[in-house]
Structure 1
Protein backbone atom coordinates (compact mmCIF):
# COMPACT_ATOMS: atom_id res chain seq x y z
CA UNK A 1 0.00 0.00 0.00
CA UNK A 2 1.36 3.42 -1.01
CA UNK A 3 -0.22 6.71 0.05
CA UNK A 4 0.71 10.12 -1.28
CA UNK A 5 -0.92 12.99 0.58
CA UNK A 6 -0.77 16.69 -0.30
CA UNK A 7 2.34 16.43 -2.48
CA UNK A 8 3.39 19.97 -3.42
CA UNK A 9 6.47 20.94 -5.42
CA UNK A 10 7.75 24.28 -6.70
CA UNK A 11 10.88 25.13 -8.66
CA UNK A 12 13.20 28.08 -9.19
CA UNK A 13 13.85 31.20 -7.13
CA UNK A 14 10.37 32.44 -8.00
CA UNK A 15 8.93 29.22 -6.45
CA UNK A 16 6.82 28.38 -9.50
CA UNK A 17 4.31 25.71 -8.49
CA UNK A 18 4.62 22.57 -10.64
CA UNK A 19 2.68 20.12 -8.43
CA UNK A 20 -0.17 21.24 -6.19
CA UNK A 21 -1.67 19.28 -3.31
CA UNK A 22 -1.70 15.86 -4.99
CA UNK A 23 -3.16 12.98 -2.97
CA UNK A 24 -3.43 9.41 -4.32
CA UNK A 25 -3.43 5.84 -3.09
CA UNK A 26 -1.60 3.17 -5.07
CA UNK A 27 -2.39 -0.53 -4.93
CA UNK A 28 0.04 -3.37 -5.63
CA UNK A 29 -0.03 -4.64 -9.21
CA UNK A 30 -1.55 -1.54 -10.78
CA UNK A 31 -0.30 -0.11 -14.06
CA UNK A 32 -0.89 3.60 -13.72
CA UNK A 33 -0.48 5.93 -16.69
CA UNK A 34 0.17 9.61 -16.03
CA UNK A 35 -1.16 11.77 -18.86
CA UNK A 36 -1.28 15.48 -19.56
CA UNK A 37 0.08 18.16 -21.84
CA UNK A 38 3.58 19.58 -21.91
CA UNK A 39 4.36 21.32 -18.62
CA UNK A 40 1.54 19.56 -16.77
CA UNK A 41 3.95 18.09 -14.20
CA UNK A 42 4.14 14.45 -15.34
CA UNK A 43 7.92 14.13 -15.21
CA UNK A 44 8.17 16.05 -11.95
CA UNK A 45 5.61 13.74 -10.36
CA UNK A 46 7.56 10.65 -11.43
CA UNK A 47 10.79 12.18 -10.11
CA UNK A 48 9.18 13.15 -6.79
CA UNK A 49 7.77 9.66 -6.28
CA UNK A 50 11.24 8.15 -6.79
CA UNK A 51 12.85 10.84 -4.59
CA UNK A 52 14.86 12.23 -7.48
CA UNK A 53 13.29 15.57 -6.48
CA UNK A 54 12.76 17.03 -3.02
CA UNK A 55 9.14 17.61 -1.95
CA UNK A 56 8.10 21.04 -0.65
CA UNK A 57 5.48 19.39 1.53
CA UNK A 58 3.33 16.30 1.79
CA UNK A 59 3.51 12.79 3.23
CA UNK A 60 4.66 9.62 1.51
CA UNK A 61 3.64 6.37 3.22
CA UNK A 62 4.93 3.02 1.92
CA UNK A 63 3.93 -0.12 3.85
CA UNK A 64 3.26 2.07 6.90
CA UNK A 65 6.72 3.69 6.71
CA UNK A 66 6.62 7.50 6.53
CA UNK A 67 9.37 7.95 3.95
CA UNK A 68 9.83 11.70 4.32
CA UNK A 69 9.89 11.72 8.13
CA UNK A 70 11.94 8.56 8.49
CA UNK A 71 14.64 9.58 6.08
CA UNK A 72 17.19 6.80 6.55
CA UNK A 73 14.80 3.85 6.60
CA UNK A 74 12.41 5.48 4.13
CA UNK A 75 15.02 6.42 1.55
CA UNK A 76 16.65 3.01 1.79
CA UNK A 77 13.26 1.39 1.16
CA UNK A 78 12.63 3.50 -1.94
CA UNK A 79 16.17 2.97 -3.20
CA UNK A 80 15.86 -0.78 -2.70
CA UNK A 81 12.30 -1.34 -3.94
CA UNK A 82 11.67 1.41 -6.51
CA UNK A 83 13.25 1.68 -9.94
CA UNK A 84 13.31 4.92 -11.91
CA UNK A 85 13.41 4.47 -15.69
CA UNK A 86 14.39 7.53 -17.67
CA UNK A 87 13.31 8.25 -21.23
CA UNK A 88 16.63 6.90 -22.49
CA UNK A 89 17.93 4.53 -19.78
CA UNK A 90 21.69 4.49 -19.37
CA UNK A 91 23.37 1.21 -20.22
CA UNK A 92 27.11 0.74 -20.52
CA UNK A 93 27.42 0.31 -24.31
CA UNK A 94 30.58 -1.78 -23.98
CA UNK A 95 29.04 -4.31 -21.61
CA UNK A 96 26.66 -7.05 -22.63
CA UNK A 97 22.97 -6.87 -21.81
CA UNK A 98 23.56 -9.54 -19.16
CA UNK A 99 26.38 -7.59 -17.49
CA UNK A 100 24.30 -4.40 -17.53
CA UNK A 101 21.51 -6.28 -15.78
CA UNK A 102 23.81 -7.83 -13.18
CA UNK A 103 25.97 -4.82 -12.39
CA UNK A 104 22.96 -2.52 -12.07
CA UNK A 105 23.11 0.75 -10.19
CA UNK A 106 26.04 1.56 -7.93
CA UNK A 107 23.72 1.95 -4.94
CA UNK A 108 22.47 -1.63 -5.33
CA UNK A 109 25.68 -3.43 -6.26
CA UNK A 110 28.52 -4.67 -4.02
CA UNK A 111 31.74 -2.71 -4.56
CA UNK A 112 33.68 -5.83 -5.54
CA UNK A 113 31.21 -6.58 -8.34
CA UNK A 114 31.44 -3.01 -9.63
CA UNK A 115 35.25 -3.32 -9.77
CA UNK A 116 35.61 -6.85 -11.11
CA UNK A 117 32.38 -7.49 -12.97
CA UNK A 118 32.34 -10.97 -11.39
CA UNK A 119 29.00 -12.58 -10.52
CA UNK A 120 27.88 -15.65 -8.61
CA UNK A 121 26.36 -18.54 -10.55
CA UNK A 122 22.95 -18.15 -8.89
CA UNK A 123 22.90 -14.43 -9.76
CA UNK A 124 23.82 -15.33 -13.32
CA UNK A 125 21.01 -17.85 -13.62
CA UNK A 126 18.52 -15.47 -12.04
CA UNK A 127 19.42 -12.73 -14.51
CA UNK A 128 19.17 -15.13 -17.44
CA UNK A 129 15.72 -16.19 -16.24
CA UNK A 130 14.55 -12.56 -16.18
CA UNK A 131 16.04 -11.85 -19.61
CA UNK A 132 14.17 -14.90 -20.93
CA UNK A 133 10.90 -13.65 -19.39
CA UNK A 134 11.37 -10.36 -21.22
CA UNK A 135 12.21 -11.97 -24.56
CA UNK A 136 15.90 -11.01 -24.41
CA UNK A 137 17.61 -14.35 -23.89
CA UNK A 138 19.15 -14.26 -27.36
CA UNK A 139 20.52 -10.76 -26.61
CA UNK A 140 22.12 -11.64 -23.26
CA UNK A 141 25.68 -11.71 -24.61
CA UNK A 142 25.25 -8.87 -27.08
CA UNK A 143 26.80 -5.51 -26.23
CA UNK A 144 24.22 -2.95 -25.12
CA UNK A 145 25.47 -0.43 -27.67
CA UNK A 146 24.12 -2.60 -30.47
CA UNK A 147 20.65 -3.12 -28.97
CA UNK A 148 17.57 -1.44 -30.40
CA UNK A 149 15.65 1.18 -28.43
CA UNK A 150 13.02 -1.30 -27.30
CA UNK A 151 15.64 -3.86 -26.33
CA UNK A 152 17.45 -1.26 -24.23
CA UNK A 153 14.22 -0.39 -22.41
CA UNK A 154 13.52 -4.06 -21.70
CA UNK A 155 17.12 -4.52 -20.51
CA UNK A 156 16.61 -1.62 -18.09
CA UNK A 157 13.39 -3.27 -16.89
CA UNK A 158 15.27 -6.57 -16.41
CA UNK A 159 17.92 -4.74 -14.39
CA UNK A 160 15.24 -3.29 -12.12
CA UNK A 161 13.66 -6.71 -11.55
CA UNK A 162 16.95 -8.47 -10.85
CA UNK A 163 17.75 -5.84 -8.22
CA UNK A 164 14.44 -6.39 -6.45
CA UNK A 165 12.19 -3.58 -7.70
CA UNK A 166 8.59 -3.80 -6.53
CA UNK A 167 7.64 -0.50 -8.19
CA UNK A 168 8.81 0.74 -11.59
CA UNK A 169 8.31 4.46 -12.23
CA UNK A 170 9.02 5.40 -15.83
CA UNK A 171 9.26 8.82 -17.44
CA UNK A 172 8.05 8.54 -21.06
CA UNK A 173 9.50 5.00 -21.43
CA UNK A 174 8.43 4.60 -25.07
CA UNK A 175 9.25 8.04 -26.46
CA UNK A 176 11.01 7.76 -29.81
CA UNK A 177 10.05 4.12 -30.31
CA UNK A 178 8.03 2.93 -33.29
CA UNK A 179 4.41 1.94 -32.47
CA UNK A 180 5.07 -1.83 -32.57
CA UNK A 181 8.11 -1.58 -30.28
CA UNK A 182 6.32 0.80 -27.92
CA UNK A 183 3.40 -1.61 -27.63
CA UNK A 184 5.83 -4.48 -26.93
CA UNK A 185 7.51 -2.57 -24.07
CA UNK A 186 4.16 -1.62 -22.53
CA UNK A 187 2.82 -5.16 -22.92
CA UNK A 188 5.92 -6.32 -21.03
CA UNK A 189 5.22 -3.88 -18.19
CA UNK A 190 1.53 -4.81 -18.05
CA UNK A 191 2.42 -8.52 -17.88
CA UNK A 192 4.73 -7.83 -14.92
CA UNK A 193 1.81 -6.19 -13.13
CA UNK A 194 -0.45 -9.16 -13.79
CA UNK A 195 2.00 -12.01 -13.26
CA UNK A 196 4.34 -10.67 -10.58
CA UNK A 197 2.26 -7.93 -8.94
CA UNK A 198 4.88 -5.33 -9.84
CA UNK A 199 3.43 -1.81 -9.67
CA UNK A 200 4.11 0.43 -12.67
CA UNK A 201 3.66 4.21 -12.84
CA UNK A 202 4.50 5.64 -16.25
CA UNK A 203 4.09 8.95 -18.05
CA UNK A 204 2.43 8.06 -21.35
CA UNK A 205 0.55 9.58 -24.29
CA UNK A 206 -3.23 9.32 -23.90
CA UNK A 207 -3.75 6.76 -26.66
CA UNK A 208 -1.23 4.36 -25.11
CA UNK A 209 -2.59 4.96 -21.62
CA UNK A 210 -6.08 4.02 -22.80
CA UNK A 211 -4.78 0.81 -24.35
CA UNK A 212 -2.39 -0.47 -21.69
CA UNK A 213 -3.07 1.05 -18.25
CA UNK A 214 -5.33 -0.25 -15.50
CA UNK A 215 -5.64 3.28 -14.13
CA UNK A 216 -5.13 6.78 -15.54
CA UNK A 217 -4.07 9.92 -13.71
CA UNK A 218 -4.54 13.20 -15.57
CA UNK A 219 -2.50 16.28 -14.74
CA UNK A 220 -3.04 19.87 -15.79
CA UNK A 221 -0.94 22.78 -14.54
CA UNK A 222 0.34 20.63 -11.68
CA UNK A 223 -3.12 19.61 -10.48
CA UNK A 224 -4.55 16.10 -10.49
CA UNK A 225 -7.72 16.58 -12.53
CA UNK A 226 -8.44 12.95 -13.42
CA UNK A 227 -8.16 9.60 -11.63
CA UNK A 228 -10.10 6.86 -13.44
CA UNK A 229 -9.82 3.19 -14.35
CA UNK A 230 -7.88 2.37 -17.50
CA UNK A 231 -10.19 2.70 -20.50
CA UNK A 232 -10.96 5.01 -23.40
CA UNK A 233 -11.43 8.49 -21.97
CA UNK A 234 -14.59 10.40 -22.69
CA UNK A 235 -14.63 13.75 -24.49
CA UNK A 236 -15.32 15.73 -21.28
CA UNK A 237 -12.50 13.88 -19.49
CA UNK A 238 -10.04 14.77 -22.24
CA UNK A 239 -11.18 18.38 -22.11
CA UNK A 240 -9.96 18.58 -18.50
CA UNK A 241 -6.39 17.94 -19.58
Structure 2
Protein backbone atom coordinates (compact mmCIF):
# COMPACT_ATOMS: atom_id res chain seq x y z
CA UNK A 1 0.00 0.00 0.00
CA UNK A 2 1.37 3.39 -1.07
CA UNK A 3 -0.26 6.45 0.49
CA UNK A 4 0.34 10.08 -0.48
CA UNK A 5 -1.44 12.89 1.37
CA UNK A 6 -1.47 16.66 0.85
CA UNK A 7 1.51 16.73 -1.54
CA UNK A 8 2.35 20.34 -2.45
CA UNK A 9 5.13 21.67 -4.66
CA UNK A 10 5.91 25.15 -5.98
CA UNK A 11 8.43 25.98 -8.70
CA UNK A 12 10.46 28.86 -10.09
CA UNK A 13 11.83 32.05 -8.53
CA UNK A 14 8.31 33.22 -7.76
CA UNK A 15 7.39 29.83 -6.23
CA UNK A 16 4.30 29.32 -8.36
CA UNK A 17 2.22 26.39 -7.01
CA UNK A 18 2.37 23.38 -9.34
CA UNK A 19 0.95 20.70 -7.04
CA UNK A 20 -1.47 21.97 -4.38
CA UNK A 21 -3.06 19.08 -2.50
CA UNK A 22 -2.38 15.76 -4.21
CA UNK A 23 -3.48 12.62 -2.42
CA UNK A 24 -4.05 8.99 -3.39
CA UNK A 25 -3.64 5.36 -2.40
CA UNK A 26 -2.33 2.72 -4.78
CA UNK A 27 -1.69 -1.00 -4.59
CA UNK A 28 0.82 -3.29 -6.25
CA UNK A 29 -0.11 -4.45 -9.75
CA UNK A 30 -1.87 -1.26 -10.79
CA UNK A 31 -1.13 0.42 -14.12
CA UNK A 32 -2.12 4.05 -13.72
CA UNK A 33 -2.43 6.45 -16.64
CA UNK A 34 -1.60 10.02 -15.61
CA UNK A 35 -3.49 12.63 -17.63
CA UNK A 36 -3.70 16.40 -17.64
CA UNK A 37 -3.32 19.48 -19.78
CA UNK A 38 0.12 20.95 -20.44
CA UNK A 39 1.40 22.54 -17.26
CA UNK A 40 -0.91 20.57 -14.98
CA UNK A 41 2.03 19.12 -13.03
CA UNK A 42 2.29 15.58 -14.40
CA UNK A 43 6.09 15.51 -14.66
CA UNK A 44 6.46 17.31 -11.33
CA UNK A 45 4.28 14.69 -9.65
CA UNK A 46 6.44 11.86 -11.01
CA UNK A 47 9.64 13.64 -9.98
CA UNK A 48 8.29 14.19 -6.46
CA UNK A 49 7.30 10.54 -6.14
CA UNK A 50 10.79 9.52 -7.29
CA UNK A 51 12.24 12.02 -4.75
CA UNK A 52 14.04 13.82 -7.56
CA UNK A 53 12.25 17.00 -6.48
CA UNK A 54 11.87 18.00 -2.85
CA UNK A 55 8.35 18.15 -1.47
CA UNK A 56 7.20 21.46 0.04
CA UNK A 57 4.81 19.54 2.26
CA UNK A 58 2.89 16.29 2.42
CA UNK A 59 2.96 12.74 3.77
CA UNK A 60 4.39 9.72 1.93
CA UNK A 61 4.03 6.18 3.32
CA UNK A 62 4.82 2.75 1.90
CA UNK A 63 3.40 -0.20 3.83
CA UNK A 64 3.15 2.05 6.87
CA UNK A 65 6.76 3.36 6.70
CA UNK A 66 7.22 7.13 6.71
CA UNK A 67 9.38 7.85 3.65
CA UNK A 68 9.91 11.60 4.06
CA UNK A 69 10.51 11.45 7.80
CA UNK A 70 12.29 8.12 7.89
CA UNK A 71 15.80 9.35 7.22
CA UNK A 72 18.32 8.09 4.68
CA UNK A 73 17.21 4.46 4.86
CA UNK A 74 13.62 5.22 3.88
CA UNK A 75 14.69 7.44 0.97
CA UNK A 76 17.18 4.77 -0.12
CA UNK A 77 14.22 2.42 -0.53
CA UNK A 78 12.85 4.72 -3.22
CA UNK A 79 16.16 5.02 -5.07
CA UNK A 80 16.55 1.23 -5.08
CA UNK A 81 12.99 0.06 -5.65
CA UNK A 82 11.43 2.84 -7.72
CA UNK A 83 12.56 3.57 -11.27
CA UNK A 84 11.95 6.91 -12.99
CA UNK A 85 11.89 6.57 -16.79
CA UNK A 86 12.14 9.92 -18.51
CA UNK A 87 10.86 10.51 -22.03
CA UNK A 88 14.37 10.03 -23.40
CA UNK A 89 15.67 7.17 -21.31
CA UNK A 90 19.06 7.69 -19.65
CA UNK A 91 20.89 5.01 -21.60
CA UNK A 92 24.49 5.04 -22.80
CA UNK A 93 24.12 4.77 -26.57
CA UNK A 94 27.70 3.52 -26.94
CA UNK A 95 27.07 0.54 -24.66
CA UNK A 96 25.22 -2.56 -25.72
CA UNK A 97 21.69 -3.22 -24.56
CA UNK A 98 23.07 -5.90 -22.24
CA UNK A 99 25.65 -3.57 -20.68
CA UNK A 100 23.02 -0.88 -20.12
CA UNK A 101 20.83 -3.39 -18.31
CA UNK A 102 23.70 -4.72 -16.18
CA UNK A 103 25.28 -1.44 -15.15
CA UNK A 104 21.98 0.28 -14.35
CA UNK A 105 21.55 3.56 -12.56
CA UNK A 106 24.11 4.88 -10.08
CA UNK A 107 21.82 4.43 -7.08
CA UNK A 108 21.25 0.78 -7.94
CA UNK A 109 24.79 -0.28 -8.85
CA UNK A 110 27.81 -0.90 -6.56
CA UNK A 111 30.62 1.63 -7.12
CA UNK A 112 33.13 -1.08 -8.05
CA UNK A 113 30.88 -2.34 -10.84
CA UNK A 114 30.42 1.15 -12.25
CA UNK A 115 34.21 1.55 -12.36
CA UNK A 116 35.18 -1.90 -13.65
CA UNK A 117 32.11 -3.09 -15.53
CA UNK A 118 32.63 -6.54 -13.94
CA UNK A 119 29.44 -8.55 -13.43
CA UNK A 120 28.62 -11.88 -11.79
CA UNK A 121 27.35 -14.82 -13.85
CA UNK A 122 24.01 -14.71 -12.00
CA UNK A 123 23.60 -11.03 -12.86
CA UNK A 124 24.44 -11.73 -16.49
CA UNK A 125 21.86 -14.51 -16.70
CA UNK A 126 19.25 -12.36 -14.98
CA UNK A 127 19.79 -9.56 -17.49
CA UNK A 128 19.55 -11.96 -20.42
CA UNK A 129 16.34 -13.42 -18.97
CA UNK A 130 14.75 -9.96 -18.77
CA UNK A 131 15.86 -9.06 -22.29
CA UNK A 132 14.35 -12.32 -23.54
CA UNK A 133 11.09 -11.67 -21.70
CA UNK A 134 10.90 -8.23 -23.31
CA UNK A 135 11.62 -9.61 -26.80
CA UNK A 136 15.14 -8.17 -27.01
CA UNK A 137 17.37 -11.22 -26.71
CA UNK A 138 18.56 -10.83 -30.31
CA UNK A 139 19.43 -7.17 -29.59
CA UNK A 140 21.51 -7.85 -26.46
CA UNK A 141 24.89 -7.28 -28.14
CA UNK A 142 23.80 -4.26 -30.18
CA UNK A 143 24.64 -0.72 -29.10
CA UNK A 144 21.53 1.04 -27.86
CA UNK A 145 22.19 3.88 -30.30
CA UNK A 146 21.35 1.40 -33.07
CA UNK A 147 18.01 0.43 -31.56
CA UNK A 148 14.61 1.90 -32.28
CA UNK A 149 12.87 4.18 -29.80
CA UNK A 150 10.54 1.41 -28.67
CA UNK A 151 13.45 -1.01 -28.21
CA UNK A 152 15.36 1.54 -26.12
CA UNK A 153 12.33 2.01 -23.88
CA UNK A 154 12.15 -1.75 -23.36
CA UNK A 155 15.88 -1.81 -22.52
CA UNK A 156 15.17 0.85 -19.87
CA UNK A 157 12.33 -1.29 -18.49
CA UNK A 158 14.59 -4.37 -18.42
CA UNK A 159 17.25 -2.38 -16.55
CA UNK A 160 14.72 -1.26 -13.96
CA UNK A 161 13.47 -4.81 -13.42
CA UNK A 162 16.95 -6.36 -13.17
CA UNK A 163 17.83 -3.86 -10.47
CA UNK A 164 14.77 -4.64 -8.40
CA UNK A 165 12.19 -2.02 -9.38
CA UNK A 166 8.81 -2.58 -7.78
CA UNK A 167 7.38 0.71 -9.06
CA UNK A 168 8.03 2.35 -12.44
CA UNK A 169 7.26 6.03 -12.95
CA UNK A 170 7.28 6.74 -16.69
CA UNK A 171 7.13 10.24 -18.16
CA UNK A 172 5.61 9.96 -21.65
CA UNK A 173 7.20 6.57 -22.38
CA UNK A 174 5.63 6.25 -25.85
CA UNK A 175 5.84 9.84 -27.14
CA UNK A 176 7.53 9.86 -30.55
CA UNK A 177 7.14 6.11 -31.05
CA UNK A 178 5.28 4.59 -33.98
CA UNK A 179 1.96 2.94 -33.08
CA UNK A 180 3.38 -0.60 -33.16
CA UNK A 181 6.29 0.28 -30.87
CA UNK A 182 4.01 2.18 -28.48
CA UNK A 183 1.68 -0.82 -28.30
CA UNK A 184 4.60 -3.14 -27.60
CA UNK A 185 5.93 -1.00 -24.73
CA UNK A 186 2.51 -0.63 -23.08
CA UNK A 187 1.56 -4.28 -23.51
CA UNK A 188 4.87 -5.20 -21.89
CA UNK A 189 4.16 -2.96 -18.90
CA UNK A 190 0.58 -4.18 -18.60
CA UNK A 191 1.71 -7.82 -18.63
CA UNK A 192 4.36 -7.16 -15.99
CA UNK A 193 1.77 -5.52 -13.74
CA UNK A 194 -0.50 -8.55 -14.04
CA UNK A 195 2.17 -11.23 -13.71
CA UNK A 196 4.70 -9.76 -11.27
CA UNK A 197 2.80 -7.18 -9.21
CA UNK A 198 4.83 -4.32 -10.71
CA UNK A 199 3.14 -0.94 -10.22
CA UNK A 200 3.32 1.63 -13.03
CA UNK A 201 2.35 5.30 -13.15
CA UNK A 202 2.77 6.66 -16.68
CA UNK A 203 1.98 9.91 -18.46
CA UNK A 204 0.06 8.73 -21.52
CA UNK A 205 -2.12 10.08 -24.33
CA UNK A 206 -5.81 9.74 -23.52
CA UNK A 207 -6.62 7.02 -26.04
CA UNK A 208 -3.74 4.82 -24.85
CA UNK A 209 -4.47 5.47 -21.19
CA UNK A 210 -8.06 4.31 -21.69
CA UNK A 211 -6.90 1.18 -23.53
CA UNK A 212 -4.07 0.02 -21.27
CA UNK A 213 -4.56 1.53 -17.80
CA UNK A 214 -6.37 -0.14 -14.95
CA UNK A 215 -6.86 3.30 -13.41
CA UNK A 216 -6.57 6.92 -14.56
CA UNK A 217 -5.74 10.12 -12.70
CA UNK A 218 -6.67 13.46 -14.23
CA UNK A 219 -4.56 16.31 -12.87
CA UNK A 220 -6.11 19.77 -12.94
CA UNK A 221 -4.86 22.90 -11.19
CA UNK A 222 -2.48 20.96 -8.98
CA UNK A 223 -4.90 18.30 -7.70
CA UNK A 224 -6.16 14.92 -8.89
CA UNK A 225 -9.57 16.04 -10.10
CA UNK A 226 -10.71 12.62 -11.29
CA UNK A 227 -9.61 9.14 -10.16
CA UNK A 228 -11.24 6.63 -12.50
CA UNK A 229 -11.00 2.83 -12.32
CA UNK A 230 -12.06 0.32 -14.96
CA UNK A 231 -13.91 2.50 -17.47
CA UNK A 232 -13.52 5.19 -20.11
CA UNK A 233 -13.66 8.83 -19.13
CA UNK A 234 -16.92 10.70 -19.53
CA UNK A 235 -17.18 13.83 -21.63
CA UNK A 236 -16.96 16.02 -18.53
CA UNK A 237 -13.88 14.16 -17.29
CA UNK A 238 -12.22 14.58 -20.70
CA UNK A 239 -12.79 18.35 -20.72
CA UNK A 240 -9.49 20.15 -21.23
CA UNK A 241 -7.59 17.02 -22.23
CA UNK A 242 -8.42 16.96 -25.93
Using the TM superposition, give the Cα deviation of residue 196 of structure 1 relative to its aligned residue in structure 2, in angstroms. 0.4
SS of 1:34's equivalent? strand
Corresponding residue for residue 13 of structure 1 = 13
* Alignment of 1:83 onto 2:83: yes
Map 1:44-55 → 2, pairs under 5 A? 44-55=44-55
Deviation at 1:69, TM superposition (A): 0.7
Residue 124 of structure 2: aligned partner = 124
**Where do 4+ consecutive residues of structure 1 move more than 6 Å?**
none
Equivalenced residues, count: 241
Q: Specify the alignment match of 2:203 in structure 1.
A: 203
Q: Contact 2:37–2:240 at 8 Å: present in 1 too?
A: no
What do residues 106-136 of structure 1 show as CA deviations (whole Å, max 9, x unaligned)? 1211122112211111111111001011000
CA displacement at 1:71 relative to structure 2? 2.5
Shift of residue 90 of structure 1?
1.6
TM-score by length of 1: 0.98
Q: How far apart in 1 are the matches of 2:115 and 2:14?
A: 44
Q: CA deviation at 1:93?
A: 1.3
Alignment partner, residue 4 of structure 1: 4
Deviations 1:79-111 (A, max 9, x none): 111000000002111111001000001121112
- SS of 1:14 mapped into structure 2: coil
The reply on whether 1:106 has 2:101 as its aligned counterpart is no
Runs of 5+ in structure 2 lacking a partner? none
Deviations 1:5-33 (A, max 9, x none): 00011112222110111110011100001
Partner of 1:68: 68
Contact 2:60 2:68 in 1 (8 A): yes
Kept in 2, the 8 Å contact 1:212–1:230? The answer is no
Structure 1 gaps of 5+ residues are none
- Equivalent residue, structure 2, for 1:215: 215
- 2:137 counterpart residue number: 137
Please give the secondary structure, in 1, of the residue aligned with 2:69: coil
Residue 240 (structure 1) shift: 6.3
* CA contact 1:113–1:119 (8 Å) conserved in 2: yes
Q: Distance in 2 between matches of 1:95 and 1:224?
A: 39
Give the aligned partner of residue 176 of structure 1: 176
Q: 1:175, 1:124 → 2: CA distance?
A: 30
Query: 1:160 aligns to what?
Result: 160
Distance 1:65 1:76 in 2: 13
